[in-house]
Amino acid sequence: MKYRPSETTLGAVWVNNFPPEDRRAAELLLNSLRVLSDATFRAALTDRLSGLVRHLQPPIAIYPIRELPKGDSDTEGPGDHAEEVAPSDPAKRRIFLPLDHPHSALPGSEAHVGNIIRDVIGSRNRADETIASSPQEIEDLRRIKVRTIVLVDDYSGTGNRVGSYLRAWAQDPTIRSWFSYKLVKFHVVLHAVSLAALRALERNPWVEQVHFSEHAAGFSTVRWSKGEAAEIRELCEKHGFKKSHALGYKRSEGLWVMQHTVPNNLPMILWQDRHKSISDWQPFFGDRKMSPALQQELGDYRLETRAEDIAASLRQPRLSRALSDQPGATTRLILLVLAASARGVRDVRRLSLLLGTPLASAEAAQQACAQLGLLDPGARLTPEGHRELAAARRRAPLAVKPHRLIGRDTPYYPWQLRGVSDI
């Protein structure tokens, strides 16, 4: 049985932390979370990495993105972490910060990602280094003549962690030389990425391409009204234990959660374990973890968006009314894809964001429309697609009230609504 977060036992307790006037906003915030199960995460990331290994230029080196101590990638120069010795010296090896530093991330993220990388590499001809591997020394990168470096993480809410890890690679003079001569390219693979993080990473000159499976849920992706968004921000600011984290780390306003880790860019009221004035405050994500009960109750939870609301956001009011009476989920999805195409939303990433689905689902919906002859190879409407969309709009009742002219009892209809074809 699927629950909304507010319908779980812990969710009901958390909502009751707040005074009655704040509970509506608290419930809306809680139910807007996106929860990703470990099974879905593993399957999706494995599939994406396996596909990239087949298409990127080999040899490929793949690494999990690690949490480096503050200052190591920001303030210290290249020489601070590179002991220049001859590679042939068996007694010594060159220290390379991203791979050699003893500090590692909490096992929630790095261990899961590292395990997936190992499986992907192991399935490729027994870790054939000419295809994909994870060399642990820079001399081994030179030996295999690496051409593509793939950095992998589960989620990026701000882009800071990925950027910091990239800077650690860029500090090494050998890596900088390979990059400047275009001998090596860096690709970043994430399961989910926020809009802000995606913009930051795509501006990073060291990133050749960002590959991801889902747009991470956040305040900017949910369909709250302006009033609801204002209420929720006020709730977070009012009850957050630290003002700096009231809306999440760097005010990133995240709503993305994984079973194995709870990011700190969620509003603090969801995971704080104390309150400024409520002595018996009960956190929803205590210790920034999902309890076993929540993992079972929520699974792959996402708040469903009504098809008619999506159509309304595309400024398609007549289609919105038609969709409200359309019982078939597949038909609703097809009509939404056609409406999106009519409004210029043809890129799979934009369509995924509009529909609130993973990229693979949005791509599959587009392909289905193309197979039906409703979209062309460029995801533009075909004549048949135009006719189908027009027919759907006609099935909706017109929400037009006739106006009466002053001094007359007969209704007046604008010329656009008259039967002009009969004249």
Interval 283-310: pLDDT, tens: 999 999 999 999 999 999 998 878 888 8
The pair of three-digit structure tokens given for residue 208, joined into one six-digit string:
């050749």
Q: 138 in a domain, yes or no? A: yes
**Residue 390 host element (H or E):** helix 383-394
Per-residue confidence (pLDDT) for residue 394, from 0 to 100:
80
- pLDDT at position 78 over 80: no
pLDDT of residue 122: 79
What is the domain count for the chain? Answer: 3
pLDDT on residue 195: 93
Residue 250 phi, psi dihedral angles, 5° rounding: 55, 35
pLDDT at 401 over 70: no
User: Per residue in 337-390, pLDDT tens?
Assistant: 999 999 999 999 999 999 988 999 999 999 999 999 999 999 999 999 999 999
Average pLDDT rounded to a whole number, residues 53-71? 87
- For residues 266-275, give the mean pLDDT: 94
Q: Flag whether 401 is in a domain.
A: no
71/175 same-domain check:
yes
pLDDT in tens, 161-181: 999 999 999 999 999 999 999
Residue 294 lies in a domain: yes
Average pLDDT of the chain is 84
Domain boundary among 177, 197, 215: 215
Helix (H) or strand (E) holding 189: strand 185-193
User: How confident is the model over 250-265, as a mean pLDDT?
Assistant: 92
For 376-385, the pLDDT digits (tens) are 999 999 999 9
Do 86 and 230 share a structural domain?
A: no
Quote the pLDDT of residue 128: 72
Tokens of 349: 């990433």
Q: What's the average model confidence in pLDDT over 50-64?
A: 94
What pLDDT is stored for residue 396 in this prediction? 57
Q: What is the mean pLDDT of residues 188-204?
A: 95
The answer, yes or no, to whether residue 104 has pLDDT greater than 80, is: no
**Domain boundary pick from 298, 332, 365:** 298
Looking at residue 385, its pLDDT comes to 93
Note whether 108 and 189 are same-domain residues: yes
- According to the per-residue pLDDT averaged within each range, which of 186-200, 293-307, 409-423 is highest? 186-200
Q: Greater confidence, 127 or 100? A: 100
Instruction: Reply yes or no on whether the pLDDT at 126 is more than 60.
Output: no
> What percentage of the chain reaches a pLDDT higher than 90?
63
Which residue shows structure tokens 């704080």?
272
Query: Greater confidence, 199 or 99?
Result: 199
pLDDT of residue 86: 39
Do 124 and 146 share a domain, yes or no? yes
Question: How far is 157 from 257, CA to CA, in rounded Å?
Answer: 11
Q: Is residue 420 part of a domain?
A: no
**DSSP assignments along 293-339, one per residue:** HHHHHHSS--PPPPHHHHHHHTT-HHHHHHHHT---HHHHHHHHHHH
Are 193 and 216 a contacting pair, CB within 8 Å?
A: yes
Residues 6+ apart with CB under 8 A from 51: none
Residue 418 CB partners (closer than 8 Å, separation 6+): none
Q: Do both 115 and 201 map to the same domain? A: yes
Is 418 within the bounds of a domain? no
400 domain residue, yes or no:
no
Do 270 and 348 belong to one domain?
A: no
Q: Say what the pLDDT of residue 79 is.
A: 30
Together in a domain, 156 and 174: yes
How far apart (Å, rounded) are the C-alpha atoms in residues 115 and 118?
5
Give me the domain span that covers residue 358. Answer: 307-394
DSSP 401: P
Q: Which of 14-23, 43-52, 85-94, 313-322 has the lowest mean pLDDT?
A: 85-94
Task: Judge if 332 and 263 occupy the same domain.
Answer: no
252 falls within a domain:
yes
Same domain, 312 and 283: no
pLDDT of residue 70: 65
pLDDT of 88: 45
Residue 97, pLDDT above cutoff 90 = no
Q: Say yes or no: 166 and 282 in one domain.
A: no
* Within-domain flag for 403: no
- pLDDT score for 137: 87
Supply the pLDDT for residue 285. Answer: 95
Give the tokens for residue 229. Answer: 């968004």
Q: Are residues 54 and 166 in the same domain?
A: yes
Residue 63 sits in a domain whose CATH number is 3.40.50
User: At which of 166, 193, 215 does a domain end?
Assistant: 215
Judged against a pLDDT cut of 90, whether residue 96 lies above it is answered with no
Task: Report which residue type is found at 285.
Answer: F
Average pLDDT over every residue of 312-338: 83
- Residue of 270 and 100 predicted with greater confidence: 270
CA 245/CA 248 separation, integer angstroms? 5
Claim to verify: residue 194 and residue 223 sit in the same structural domain = no
**Amino acid identity for residue 93 in this structure:** R
Q: Say how far residue 18 (Cα) sits from the centre of its chain.
A: 29
Q: Which pLDDT score is estimated for 399? A: 47
